A and B are shown apart, each in its own frame.
Chain A
Amino acid sequence: MEAWYRLVDTLVPFGWAQYIFMKNALLAVLVITPVYAVLGTMVVSNRMAFFTDVLGHSAFAGIAIGVLCGIYDPTWPMIVMAVVLAVLINVLKGLTRASMDTTLGVFLAFMVALGITLLSRQGGFVKYTKYLIGDILAVSPAEISWLAVLFLAVLVYWCLAGNALILTSVNRSLARSRRIKVFLLETSFTILLAVVVMLSIRLVGVLIINSLLVLPAAASRNFARDTRAYTLWAVIFSVVSGAAGLVMSYYWGTASGATIVLFSVGCYLVSVVAAHVKKRECQHGTP
């Protein structure tokens, strides 16, 4: 951590960079935003945005169950809850070939209602509102090292399973015919998503975690013409809007997570315009 602090001191001569909490938050942002981007590419390709939203909201139920069991740090109950939910939904998806939309909606309602009901006993919900918007400025070096482990895990997973995920996303039978264990693959991917989302709840909150997953990939998709560009641009959008949002939230005195999302939306709009301009150029026959 000391090395990182010195690096920031040398490179960034601005007022915000003198605070330890800003340095920590910046490091956390730089480590976690590429993870969002990479996982997000597959979430968007597979139309899983609603699924990750349900995962995020299951944090309420996780926290509540943690409180009931008398666990002080809700991280583990949240992760366990989300992983169980992810596997359950994946199994259900295998049983029915119909759309999961309604089922997911029921899960979303159940998770949120269960969490809020339990947490609001004796009017105590107010002290949990911090999980709604998160607080990345409170991130500790220990949490950052967890995020770094996650970063490496996702990197390794993506190297090993990236191709298989692409093939499975276009056709499951085709993937099976190439000896891919489709159920295992999809389950492991959803578990990874569950862990990433849950570790992010304290940083950015239940309400916007999904936007951070979906927006960079959605923006990149507007003009990327192959998988590499898709991934690369998603990572660039994610990291740039993460860093910009964090810094501006310092000057504006706003919640970091939400400010980051605003910058992501900005990237998305720019990409829509850029894609439109490019398309018109192509149509007019300019090379």
Chain B
Amino acid sequence: MLSPDDTNRTDASDEARCRHCCIRIDGLTVHLSGHVILKGVNLHVHCGEVLAIVGPNGAGKTTLLRAILGEVPYRGNMSSLIGGVERRRPRIGYVPQKLQFDLDSPLSVVDLVVAATSPRPVWMGVSRKAFERAKTILGVFSADNLAGRRIGELSGGELQRVLLAIAMTAKPELLLLDEPASGVDVQGLALFYQLVRDLKRRHDISVILVTHDLPGIAPYVDRLVLLNRSIVAAGDPQEVLSDELLMRTFGPCLWHAAVSPACPSGGEI
């Protein structure tokens, strides 16, 4: 169950379920400035599946997301099958790991939502109607009370919820979450994971999330993928976690990824 080829296999039951959305990645290889970042990654994300990609620092997790987003050149195949129609890329909602702004940035939450979702220029001001619309968008993730705040005043968890709300306005078929755990306290994280879980249930979308938070994420995901340049293991979260050999090798650098430099074949990028 825990072999790397596991993700190659698409059994009949999967195909049957996979009507709504799935993305299929075959032999994905990424070279960046002479380094091999990802090598021969095979991944098949089913419809309505929450998939967590876990791996040490420098394992290529973020690069994998960027390849799916079409931001980095790659070799290999990527295709998506949505409602029985094959397309090169599904509609993607993306929640970045962090935003780049100074703490004194005058950008308000409403400004950010309107800037992302409406053509009406924010610098001219946000109309009452647009404000209400933004609050509705934020309300889905219980973030409507944040509307009037500046983004520099939000906690990590609050910002993640705002970004998730923005990502969902694209009506995505595939949701990509980059390190949602970073800078979020434990309580905020549980709330965030629960929201993602609910989303999947309600909208039947696929979710790929990249994380360091291995123990925290496990109860909320359908499948766990261990990535270190290529896929090391994939499967049911409990099974992956209970694989002793795997955890002995990867456990330390997954649990303490931020501080542990010593991980098998992992390196800095």
Q: How far is the CB of A155 from chain B (nearest CB, A)?
A: 10
Tell me the bound Cα distance from A163 to B166 in angstroms: 14
Q: Is A225 an interface residue (CB 8 A)?
A: yes
Q: Which residues of A contact B118 (CB under 8 A)?
A: 163
A169 and B92 contacting across the interface, CB-CB below 8 Å: no
Q: Is A177 an interface residue (CB 8 A)?
A: yes
Nearest A residue to B95 via CB reads A174
Number of A-B contacts (CB under 8 A): 99
Q: Is B115 an interface residue (CB 8 A)?
A: yes
A163 and B107 contacting across the interface, CB-CB below 8 Å: no
Q: How far is the CB of A78 from chain B (nearest CB, A)?
A: 29
1/0 contact string of B61-96 vs chain A (CB within 8 Å): 000001001110000000000000000000011101
Q: Which residues of B contact A45 (CB under 8 A)?
A: 101-102, 105, 107
Q: Which residues from 147 to 180 on chain A have a C-beta closer than 8 Å to any C-beta of chain B?
A: 158-159, 162-164, 166-167, 169-171, 173-174, 176-178
Tell me the bound Cα distance from A45 to B99 in angstroms: 12
Q: Which residues from 201 to 223 on chain B have a C-beta closer than 8 Å to any C-beta of chain A?
A: none
**Interface residue count on the A side (C-beta < 8 Å):** 29
Say whether, besides A170-B112, A173-B69, A174-B96, A225 and B150 are in contact (CB < 8 Å): yes
The size bracket of the interface on B is 35 or more
Q: Which residues of A contact B106 (CB under 8 A)?
A: 220-221, 224-227, 229-230
1/0 contact string of B16-46 vs chain A (CB within 8 Å): 0000000000000000000000000000000
B107 and A226 contacting across the interface, CB-CB below 8 Å: yes
Nearest B residue to A179 via CB reads B170
Q: Which residues from 110 to 127 on chain B have a C-beta closer than 8 Å to any C-beta of chain A?
A: 110-112, 114-116, 118-126
| Besides A163-B121, A222-B104, 7 new A-B residue pairs in contact (Cβ under 8 A), listed by A number | A166-B112, A166-B115, A173-B66, A177-B170, A221-B106, A227-B111, A231-B123
Q: Measuring CB to CB, which residues of chain B are less than 8 angstroms from any residue of chain A? A: 66, 69-71, 92-94, 96, 98-102, 104-108, 110-112, 114-116, 118-126, 150-151, 163, 166-167, 170, 176
13 A-B pairs with C-beta separation under 8 A? A159-B124, A162-B115, A163-B116, A163-B119, A164-B115, A169-B101, A171-B96, A173-B69, A173-B71, A176-B70, A225-B108, A228-B124, A230-B123
